[in-house]
Structures are given as C-alpha cells and as structure tokens.
Structure 1
C-alpha cells in the first residue's frame, strides 16, 4: 500500500477528492494541515450532521493506493489538471506495516452502562464489577455500546424491575445489542428486526455468542403487541414510523426511542401526539432518550 499526500486549499477539496475517487484511490482522508498549531481551526457539525464546510483553509489530503505505480500515476494526472492550481504534492510513500487487528482492538475498551452492566469486547477481560455483560465486537452493523444513544437505551433497560419488560420488540436492531440487553434483563421473548439482512445476521451471531434466545428477521417479523418497543434509529425515520411503532405497544407497555437530538424533542412529541405522549427520559452529549407509556 502507498499513500499520496497533498496540500489543498479549502475551495479545491471537493474537486481533488472527487478526482482521487475517479482515479480509484482505495480511500481519501482530509485533515487540518495546521492541526496542533496556532492556526488550527475547529470544523464540527452537530451530532449526526455533516460538517459546515468541505475542509480547512489548508487541508492535508491523504489518498491510499494499492501500489507505488498507481500512487505516482494519480499524482501526475492530478498535477496536469487546471483545478490543481494552488495545490501541491507533499510526498508519496509506503504505508508502515502494522498489526491492524491489534490496532483496531486497542481502540475499543469495555463500556460501562451501569456499575454492574458492561459491554465487553471479546478480547478484554470483564471488569471485576460486571455482574451482567454483553460480549460484542465491532462489526458492520451499528451498535457497539460506545454511542450515547445505545448507552441510554441500555441504561433504561437495566433500570426496569424484574418482569417489567415483558415481550420486547427491537425495531432497527443493528448489531442486536438492545435486543440482547433486553434478554439479559428478563424479557419474556424478544423480536429483533431490521431492513438490512447483514444486521439481522449480525444480531443472530451476537445473540448466540451471548447465550441468549431471540428471533431476528426483517420488519415483517414484528407481530402483535409488546410490553416494550425499542427503536434506536434517527429522528426522521422515527417520525415516519410513529403509527407503526405505537401500534405495537401493548396496554401498560412502554415505547423507548433514541437517535434524537435535544433540539428535535418538540417535533417528535408532535409527531407522536396522536398516538402516545412522549417525554424526555435521559440526555447525553446532545442526544436524548424519549419514552412513552400506554395506559393499562
């Protein structure tokens, strides 16, 4: 593997990035060329939203190619283009050999949900305080316990009394982490559904690895009413799904939703008002957990 490093002004980021993708770069990354200097600039959008600009005033663009010949050919072709004016090639070099598996694993440590409930990657020893835990490795499906929305849902589940969860539906299950958490905390049965077949398979695999029983499938698996309906998605699909999700909440049951920014609370309340009365039950890092109860 070889990397091509470029110095690119802000107004050329999109053109250069598009050209590198057309030249079949394996990946393209953009960083602040002035990072950790007095000229460093913040460039952040709201959680879940794109950044306000394509890049910094001076951006360092790194493109990965399979070999040196491909990297040098891309460099030569870029420098011949009119839009490359004002840009420069910094260097071309091999990617240092690393143990990528070990490097990836080092970035995922056990995650505390409550003092007694933890998410623990399989290569870590469980913390001494862990009384319940989910063994989960990072994969293609969303949900490793590191995001505030996942932690809030699991905290809510861990706070229920024995028998309170009843039959559980995890709608948009991703990795299955919420469904597994519900099974560990005494759900009588768990259905986990997702539109992505890879997520369904990930849920089945993770449930087996954690020794819990659940049903995982596409959304048409969801059937009837549930004592608890969990949905950690995003605000827009949650609004669209309002009648469907509420239909599945049994009398005396709970609806628990995440993937919602604090500023989106009122629009979610309005969307669900014809069915159930939502309220904010938890908040972390700009994200909120919203819940509703159907009268018994």
Structure 2
C-alpha cells in the first residue's frame, strides 16, 4: 500500500476527502497538522451544541491507496482541481505491510476497574486476580472501559452491589448495565437513542451471560433503585427532571461525563430535584451522585 499525504485548510477538508473517496482511496484520515504544538486545536461536540468542525485550520489529510500508480494519479488529478487551491501535496510513501488485526488488538489490554474487577477483550486471558470480568471488544458504541468516566461508574457499581432494579440511560455499549447485572441487579433496563448502541448492548449482554432489556428511551418507565447516566454535561442538565423521576424514593442517581469545571453547573441544574455531590475524580472528570 501507498500513502498520499496532503495539507489543506479547514474549509477544503470535506471536498478533498470526498474527492479521495471517488479516486478509490482505501481510507482517508484527517489530523491536526499543529498537533503537539502551541497551535493545536481541540475539536469536540456535545448533544445540543453545534457539531464540531470538519477539520483544523491546518489539516493533514492521509489517504491509502493499493499501489503507487493510483496514489500518484490521485495527486495529479487533485492538483488540477479548483478546490485544491491553498492545498499542497506533502508526499507519497510506501506503507509497510503489517498484521493490522494483531496490531490493533495489541493496543487494547485488560482494564482494571478494581483489583478484582476487570474489563477484558476476548483475545486476552483475564488476570489471575480477576474475580469479576466483563468481556468487551472495542466497537462502534461508546464505552469500552478505557475512559475515566466509564471506569468511575463501574467502580461505583462494584462498591455498591445491592441494587435490584437499574436503569442505564444512554447505554452505548451496555457496559454499565452489564456491570450492574454482574454485581447482582435482577431487573436491568438499558436505553439509548442510537439503534446501533441498542444492538451492541444486546450482543454484549449475551456474550457476558447476563439478562437485561435494551431499547430506545421510551422503554425507560417506572422507578428504579439506581439510575446511571454516563453522557455529557449538556444533555445531563436537560435530562435532570426525567432522570430524577426514574429514581424511586431512597434510590441512587449516578451521573458521569462531567468535567471538573462543570460541577457547579450540574449542581444548579439538579438542585430542584436532589443534592448532587462529587463521589470520584479522575483525569479532570468527576462522578456525581445523589440519594433521592
């Protein structure tokens, strides 16, 4: 395979990527050309907010082609287009053949939640000290156990196992719902607005030998001992009355996806319904909980 590397301004990323797809590129990726410098830009979005930009002020576009001829022809054709103005070809280089599956798998090791509770990809053996294991491979849906917010939620679940009826709102891969079931919850409901997440949750639950109900948000009915929501601050604020309404008297609310600087915002949003407090912190993120 050969790699064609290009530089372009932010407003040309989409046109250039579409053109590379039409020129039979095997893959197209976009990077911040100023990464690891003072000019580096963070691109991210939250539900309810404008979507993130297509690229950076100086975007590096990398396209893979099956052979050098295709990469060279693509570079020549692109340079002849009007939209290529302001862009440049950085070069064409051979890409060493690798076992991409093995290389990808090597990047995902078992994740420790507690010394006895681990998230383990299917290609790894569980650590000897693991007494409780969730088998989960990286996939399309959010939540593989590697992010601090997921780890904090799972740690909380491991330390508070006496929850019978649990709602995981915004379930992603279903990892929190599966964790709750592993730690004794008998009635677990997992909901998400994304059909792919719902399907992922069902498959992951089956692979882990646990029973739960997964579906769209309208499946969330009634009150629960524990309501989990690992989303982001903006939707958590909007969902405050709904989530609190699903917690039965004496039940617990556990929220994640919150940056440390957003603590006061969340406390204010939930103040009419409950008193949130910070239960855990990791890498700039916080876990907030409340008893209703």
TM-score bucket of the superposed structures, by smaller chain = 0.7 to 0.9
1:195 corresponds to which of 180, 193, 196: 193
Counterpart residue number, 1:118: 118
Cα–Cα, structure 1 residues 291 and 224, in superposed 2: closer, same or farther, change >3 Å?
same
**SS state at 2:142 partner:** coil
**Is 1:20–1:63's contact at 8 Å kept on the other side of the alignment?**
no
Across the two proteins, how many residue pairs are aligned to each other? 281
Residue correspondence of structure 1 range 1-296 to structure 2 within 5 A: 1-6=1-6, 8=7, 12-25=8-21, 26-32=27-33, 40-41=37-38, 43=40, 45=42, 54-55=56-57, 60-65=60-65, 68=68, 70-80=70-80, 88-160=88-160, 162-163=161-162, 165-294=163-292
**SS state at 1:96 partner:** coil
Separation in 2 of the partners of 1:191 and 1:167? 8
Per-residue Cα deviation, 1:257-282 (whole angstroms, up to 9, x for no partner) = 10111111111111111111111111
Cα–Cα, structure 1 residues 60 and 174, in superposed 2: closer, same or farther, change >3 Å?
closer
Shift of 1:179: 0.4
**Is 1:5–1:63's contact at 8 Å kept on the other side of the alignment?**
yes
**Is 1:261–1:286's contact at 8 Å kept on the other side of the alignment?**
yes
Structure 2 residue runs without a partner (length 5+): 22-26, 47-51
Per-residue Cα deviation, 1:225-261 (whole angstroms, up to 9, x for no partner) = 0000000011111111111111000011000010111
**SS state at 2:177 partner:** helix
Cα–Cα, structure 1 residues 93 and 176, in superposed 2: closer, same or farther, change >3 Å?
same
Separation in 1 of the partners of 2:66 and 2:245? 51
Structure 1 window deviating more from structure 2 (274-283 vs 87-96): it is: 87-96
Separation in 2 of the partners of 1:60 and 1:242? 40
Separation in 2 of the partners of 1:61 and 1:42? 18
Separation in 1 of the partners of 2:124 and 2:183? 22
Cα–Cα, structure 1 residues 34 and 157, in superposed 2: closer, same or farther, change >3 Å?
closer
Q: TM-score, normalised by structure 2?
A: 0.87
Separation in 2 of the partners of 1:243 and 1:129? 41
Separation in 2 of the partners of 1:198 and 1:66? 31
Per-residue Cα deviation, 1:155-196 (whole angstroms, up to 9, x for no partner) = 101111x52x12000011111100010011111310111111
Separation in 1 of the partners of 2:9 and 2:217? 40
Separation in 1 of the partners of 2:10 and 2:182? 47
Separation in 1 of the partners of 2:221 and 2:12? 50
Shift of 1:87: 5.1
RMSD (Å) for aligned C-alpha atoms: 2.5
